[in-house]
Structure 1
Amino acid sequence: MAKAKATSGRQGAPPQPGEDVESLIDLDDPRLQTEAAQKLMAAARELFVKQGFSATSVSDITERAGMSVGSLYYHYGSKTNLYQAIYMLYQRTQERRARETVAAVRAAGVTNGLRLFLAGTRAYLLGAWEHRDVVRLAADGDTPPGFGLYMRRINQEWMRKNTTLLRESTNLLGQDDALSVRAVVAIVTDAMGGICREVANCATREEAEELVARAIDVFARLADVPPGRP
């Protein structure tokens, strides 16, 4: 996912009508690396999960964090931006997990692009269990205005990166079968949200792992990848 850029001089103020919320947050901003910012994020995450985005007020968050309202606006700019930051951090963690898994599988000698793709997909789905509270939070529909557009951007970027991964790897569905590669990536990308929700709703990690294994098996058959762990 492309790193969101902070608008100069604006992160400390509430967003104005019509502004792109995503442009106001930069996860690498020094203000978001402080203990205060981390406390605010932890408090917001807990409250959003417990009572929803709409029912959680700025004062609820700052009271839980033991901080002032002004501190939240200084660090995040708004409750909406704080929600966005929580999800962006989750997505960054997921992407790093998938990327590191693909690198490890590639280092082990796997060159088939579809196997690499499935390995990264498996890692991403297992990460949904580790961060199931955030997955449920995004899935319940009680999200900030414009969040659906942001999610579509994430999906588009995921599809672009994985299509590139497949096309640059050897032993694909066929060197000239670019449309099949695009079709597989599109189908898996569209399915990811629903499968992540199902993984997050599993009662145990064992159940989540089995569900992920079944999903990868389905994807492998769809992509005509020979049996075996990707």
Structure 2
Amino acid sequence: GYADAGIAEIVERSGISVGSLYHHYGGKAGLYVALWEDLSAEQEASAAQAVSAARKSGEIDPIALFIAGARAYLRVCWERRDAARLFLGGEGPSGSSLMRRSRAQRWIAQNTKLLRGPSSGEPAGRPEQVLSLVLTTVIGETGREIATAESEAEATEIIEEVCRILIRLAR
């Protein structure tokens, strides 16, 4: 975890020099943030690509589009499980919980728009926002389980079961 990783261990395991670590990242906290941003960007890009591909194939159901994005996000949690375990574990440098909350709020807002379907021009109501909050939270917590799965088969089984549950919750 973050607290237990020392600079010497980071340098040894990564193969970079102490000077390079400080030059590029400013230290352990900066490296953490850079790696977290990289993982988050990959998860978001994968989800956006999956939603876009589903739309291109003719899918218009907002829940089906949401599930396509959720499935892609969760696949990245498996593919990048070492990083996902670190970041989904909740520990990090000072201020990282605020950073995660801010990202989560943006993610919930995006999911609320996606779940609403073609916009009517009116702002989302409280029930829509709460549904998005619940579904997004389930996906985030599932990411933690996926990252600790014993095998790809187990990760896939969890992903598919959670997607079935998300569909039931969303309807």
* Cα distance in 2, alignment partners of residues 141 and 111 from structure 1: 35
Aligned residues: 170
* Structure richer in helix, relative to its length: 2
- Partner secondary structure for residue 56 of structure 1: coil
Q: Which residue of 2 aligns with 1:204?
A: 151
**Aligned equivalent of 1:192, options 139, 143, 146:** 139
Letter in 2 for 1:114: I
Confirm or deny that 1:118 pairs with 2:67: yes
- Partner secondary structure for residue 3 of structure 2: coil
Compare relative contact order (CA 8 Å, sep 6+) and give the higher one, 1 or 2. 2
Q: Which residue of 1 aligns with 2:162?
A: 215
CA RMSD, aligned part only?
2.3
* Cα distance in 1, alignment partners of residues 146 and 63 from structure 2: 22
* Cα distance in 2, alignment partners of residues 66 and 123 from structure 1: 31
Contact 2:111/2:136 (CA < 8 Å) preserved in 1?
Answer: no
In structure 2, do the counterparts of structure 1 residues 128 and 111 end up closer, same or farther at CA, with 3 Å as the change threshold?
A: same
Instruction: Return the TM-score normalized by structure 1.
Output: 0.67
Q: Which residue of 1 aligns with 2:118?
A: 169
Aligned residue runs from structure 1 range 122-133, under 5 A: 122-133=71-82
- Partner secondary structure for residue 120 of structure 1: helix
Q: Which residue of 2 aligns with 1:56?
A: 5
Letter in 1 for 2:78: W
Residue identity over aligned pairs, in percent, reads 36
Contact 1:112/1:169 (CA < 8 Å) preserved in 2?
Answer: no
Structure 2 runs not aligned, ≥5 long: none
Structure 1 runs not aligned, ≥5 long: 1-51, 225-230
Confirm or deny that 1:85 pairs with 2:85: no
Aligned residue runs from structure 1 range 1-230, under 5 A: 52-169=1-118, 178-224=125-171
In structure 2, do the counterparts of structure 1 residues 71 and 103 end up closer, same or farther at CA, with 3 Å as the change threshold?
A: same
Instruction: Return the TM-score normalized by structure 2.
Output: 0.88
